[in-house]
Amino acid sequence: MRVILLGAPASGKGTQAHAVCDRYKIPQISTGDMLREARRHGTALGLHAADFMTSGQLVPDELVVDLIQERLDRPDTNSGWLLDGFPRTIRQAQIFDQLLEAHSVTLDYVVQLDVPRELLFERAIYRRMDKRTGQIYHLKYNPPPPGAELEHRADDQSGTVLQRLDTYQKMTAALLPYYEAKGLLRRVSGTGKPSEVTARLFAALGNA
């Protein structure tokens, strides 16, 4: 199974990525984690990427794809992979398509978790983290226990949440039609209990 999982902030993408990877015994490849790991290990590509990250610049698309290729060359990807956080633009998708074609690898699915914007906003702004344990709670859906030292993280502040949702919407405005035209796109409702979303997701992947 080779799949790209797309979803807006607070769509539950992280939870569903773990479910897919556990079911199909494939690694989750997050571009954010991959960039941090490459920088930490001090590889040539990692050090190159670090130069951009340190100066606050975006890492060029070609460099990100090179890092992805380096990650996909590891043995644990032989049975497939789940790509999380990439591609974000049409250009990135096209470069990645060229990489897959050069290695005779087929992308099976691109799954988009659909959640109404107002629900995404509610999920995000009511999230709180216990500073002592790092546990994430939700004031409405998963209230914290008495005595928790709660922190409202910057990423979950209303202004930041709206900006992140706007950014994601602009990104997928062109990306989703791109994959739909290729017959790869599967849209899954991300509302309801996580187990219900997981069931829909597996159905979209053909229950293989």
Q: Which helix (H) or strand (E) holds 185?
A: strand 185-189
For the four alpha carbons of 169, 171, 174 and 178, in that order, the dihedral sign comes to: negative
Is residue 164 flagged as an active site residue? Answer: yes
- Find the distance separating the first CA and the last CA of the chain, reported in whole Å: 9
Beta-carbon-side half-sphere exposure of residue 194 (alpha carbons within 13 Å): 13
Q: Of the residues 23, 36, 164, 187, which is catalytic?
A: 164
132 in active site:
no
- Among 71, 88, 186, 200, the active-site one is 88
User: Which of 127, 128, 186, 200 is an active site residue?
Assistant: 127
Q: Quick one: how far is CA 80 from the chain centroid?
A: 16
Tell me, yes or no, if 13 is annotated catalytic. yes
Contact in structure between 3 and 20 (CB atoms under 8 Å): yes
Q: Is 71 a residue of the active site?
A: no
HSE-up (13 A, CA, CB side) for residue 117:
10
Q: Check if 170 is active-site.
A: no
Give me the catalytic one of 13, 71, 123, 186: 13
Given the residues 25, 91, 153, 182, select the one marked as catalytic: 153
Q: 3-class secondary structure for 58-85?
A: CCCHHHHHHHHHHHHCCHHHCCCEEEEC
What amino acid positions are annotated as catalytic residues? Answer: 13, 88, 127, 153, 164
